[in-house]
């Protein structure tokens, strides 16, 4: 089974960003049959979207996919990762300490961020370490591509 839902918005439009965040979480909840606790996923998604919104008018595409591994959220943004140059300490603490698997691929033309469902508690430490490494790598990449 493969499902994909996608939204394209201007990242500076606060209403659209908030609306997409709600719709993405609703879609993930529907795909998970309401069984998963999506609080951590919604917090991390909200912080990533807020970082993009603070950058100004950039094109932002958000999609939800489900395949055999479960739901995955993809964010595609223009330019280097916004979180790499972010000075928001609260956001940094959330993204460094999250147990939500997060992958960031960046170039000078765009950034692709992937969020997956949080792992079970037994694997929490491994994924927290991985997310922290990914966030630090995104900061390094962003510094390289900052104009």
H or E segment to which residue 63 belongs: strand 59-67
Residue 8 domain boundaries: 3-145
What's the confidence (pLDDT) of residue 56? Answer: 78
Q: Is 51 exposed, middle or buried (0-12, 13-18, 19+ CB in 10 A)?
A: buried
What's the confidence (pLDDT) of residue 20? Answer: 94
What's the confidence (pLDDT) of residue 32? Answer: 81
What's the confidence (pLDDT) of residue 125? Answer: 43
Distance separating alpha carbons of residues 54 and 51, to the nearest angstrom: 5
What's the confidence (pLDDT) of residue 24? Answer: 94
What's the confidence (pLDDT) of residue 11? Answer: 85
Nearest to residue 102, comparing CAs of 65, 76, 127, 71?
A: 127
Q: CA triplet 143, 99, 10: central angle to 5 degrees? A: 50
Nearest to residue 59, comparing CAs of 114, 7, 10, 110?
A: 10
Total tally of structural domains belonging to the chain? 1
What's the confidence (pLDDT) of residue 12? Answer: 85
> Going residue by residue through the chain (147 aa), what tens digit of pLDDT does each one get?
466 889 999 888 899 999 999 999 999 988 886 666 788 899 999 989 988 888 877 889 999 998 777 889 999 998 776 666 667 777 777 877 788 888 888 887 888 999 988 765 334 444 455 566 666 776 676 666 655
- What is the reported pTM? 0.75
Distance separating alpha carbons of residues 68 and 47, to the nearest angstrom: 27
Q: What is the CATH number of the domain that holds 89?
A: 3.30.565.10
């Amino acid at each position: 089974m493969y499902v994909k839902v996608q939204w394209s918005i201007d990242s500076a439009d606060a209403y659209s960003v908030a609306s997409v965040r709600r719709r993405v979480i609703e879609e993930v909840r529907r795909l998970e049959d309401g069984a998963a606790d999506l609080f951590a996923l919604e917090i991390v998604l909200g912080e990533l979207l807020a970082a993009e919104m603070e950058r100004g008018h950039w094109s932002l595409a958000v999609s939800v996919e489900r395949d055999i591994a479960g739901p995955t959220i993809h964010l595609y943004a223009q330019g280097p990762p916004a979180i790499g140059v972010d000075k928001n300490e609260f956001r940094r603490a959330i993204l460094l300490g999250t147990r939500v698997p997060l992958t960031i691929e960046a170039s000078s033309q765009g950034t692709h961020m992937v969020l997956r469902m949080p792992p079970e508690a037994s694997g929490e430490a491994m994924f927290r370490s991985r997310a922290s490494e990914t966030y630090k790598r995104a900061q390094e990449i962003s510094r390289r591509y900052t104009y």
